[in-house]
């Protein structure tokens, strides 16, 4: 049955809050989102995507999933949680140490929920939402974007819903910032936002590279995943650090300057080969 909620609302069901109990007993929060990887034999792997640093050192993790009714529609203020031990080991890291991405296949969790008589509701993304080369070439320097996640761990705990932030691209999304498959956004990026999906989001129209305007046109694409941002200290120095999962009291102040570094969504396609190799061993 089709999902009877607007497209913009569907995006709010594409993320999940990640709670981590660290080895030292502290709690960290981050953002994950649902993505389905499709293999060459038409099999699919539903998974959660986040940053490596979000789950680093976590001995236990917790997810909150929304529930659906008998018709597959989301139930308001109705959700269930799963606790996963040895949490960090449950994730598959991106093979490049310099790419701060990891994924967790969630078929076992979905199967567990089904055995408990629970219908899980979420909206999953897939590679159809990743821009192809022709679409990338048509982007302009400042595109409107939205970022969905859990800044400072803030969420609507009753309805299990995330926080939506709006911004623009701060560097040209058609260029690789500092030679990496990354770009920068101008948006409020706070602890807990790590792993947030960044969407190109135009519902009422948008401007083309040629300078024309598409009236009434809609574009919703996954541009990338937030992972870090430049911050300046009270002494005026500028540092680029991973967006933290915790708020900490430190001897000097790190002050976010509302810029975030985003890994381009094309990097997600690197996991296809990994899942293909895992599938061939089954």
Residues 36 and 105 in one domain: yes
CATH number of the domain residue 114 falls in = 2.40.10
Q: Which residue has the tokens 């790190």?
A: 254
Residues 38 and 150 in one domain: no
Residues 233 and 222 in one domain: yes
Domain contains 1: no
Write the pLDDT tens digit of every residue in 198-254: 999 988 777 777 666 666 667 899 999 999 876 545 444 545 545 544 443 334 445
In this model, does residue 169 exceed pLDDT 80? yes
Q: What percent of the chain has pLDDT over 90?
A: 64
pLDDT: is 118 or 208 the higher one?
118
Q: Which of 147, 165, 125, 153 is nearest to 33 (CA)?
A: 125
Domain contains 20: yes
Contact criterion met (CB below 8 Å) for 32 and 46: no
Residues 132 and 259 in one domain: yes
Domain contains 76: yes
CA angle 260, 160, 74 (to 5 degrees): 115
Domain contains 132: yes
Residues 187 and 67 in one domain: no
**Residue 217, CA distances (Å) to 134, 146, 205, 236, 257 in order:** 17, 17, 4, 43, 32
Residues 194 and 242 in one domain: yes
Nearest-angstrom CA–CA distance, 34 and 80? 16
Domain contains 273: yes
Contact criterion met (CB below 8 Å) for 104 and 54: no
Residues 192 and 223 in one domain: yes
Average of pLDDT values for 6-19? 94
Domain contains 2: no
Supply the range of the domain harboring residue 155.
128-266
Residues 142 and 122 in one domain: no
Residues 155 and 255 in one domain: yes
Query: Domain total for the chain?
Result: 2
**Residue 170, CA distances (Å) to 144, 253, 269 in order:** 10, 24, 24
Write the pLDDT tens digit of every residue in 249-281: 334 445 567 889 999 999 999 999 898 887 644
Write the pLDDT tens digit of every residue in 174-192: 999 999 999 999 988 877 7
Average of pLDDT values for 38-55? 90
Residues 224 and 168 in one domain: yes
Mean pLDDT of the chain: 86
Average of pLDDT values for 10-36? 93
């Amino acid at each position: 049955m089709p999902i009877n909620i607007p497209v913009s609302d569907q995006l709010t069901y594409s993320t999940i809050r990640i709670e981590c109990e660290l080895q030292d007993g502290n709690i960290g929060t981050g953002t994950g989102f649902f993505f389905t990887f499709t293999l060459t034999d038409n099999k699919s792997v539903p998974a959660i995507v986040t940053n490596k640093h979000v789950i680093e050192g976590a001995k236990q993790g917790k997810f909150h999933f929304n529930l659906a009714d008998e018709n597959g529609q989301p139930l308001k203020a109705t959700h269930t949680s799963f606790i996963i031990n040895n949490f960090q080991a449950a994730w598959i890291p991106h093979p490049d140490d310099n790419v701060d991405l990891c994924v967790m296949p969630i078929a076992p969790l979905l199967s567990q929920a089904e055995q408990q008589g629970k219908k899980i509701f979420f909206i999953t993304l897939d590679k159809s939402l990743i821009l192809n080369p022709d679409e990338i070439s048509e982007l302009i320097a400042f595109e409107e974007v939205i970022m969905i996640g859990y800044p400072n761990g803030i969420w609507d705990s009753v309805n299990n819903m995330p926080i939506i932030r709006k911004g623009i691209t701060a560097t040209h999304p058609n260029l690789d910032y500092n030679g990496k498959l990354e770009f920068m956004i101008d948006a409020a990026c706070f602890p807990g936002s790590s792993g947030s999906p960044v969407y190109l989001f135009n519902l009422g129209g948008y401007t083309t590279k040629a300078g024309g305007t598409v009236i009434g046109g809609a574009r919703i694409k996954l541009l990338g995943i937030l992972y870090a941002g430049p911050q300046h200290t009270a002494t005026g120095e500028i540092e680029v650090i991973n967006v933290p999962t915790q708020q900490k009291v430190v001897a000097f102040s790190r002050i976010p300057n509302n810029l975030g570094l985003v890994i381009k969504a094309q990097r997600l396609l690197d996991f296809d080969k990994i899942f293909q190799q895992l599938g061939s061993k089954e």
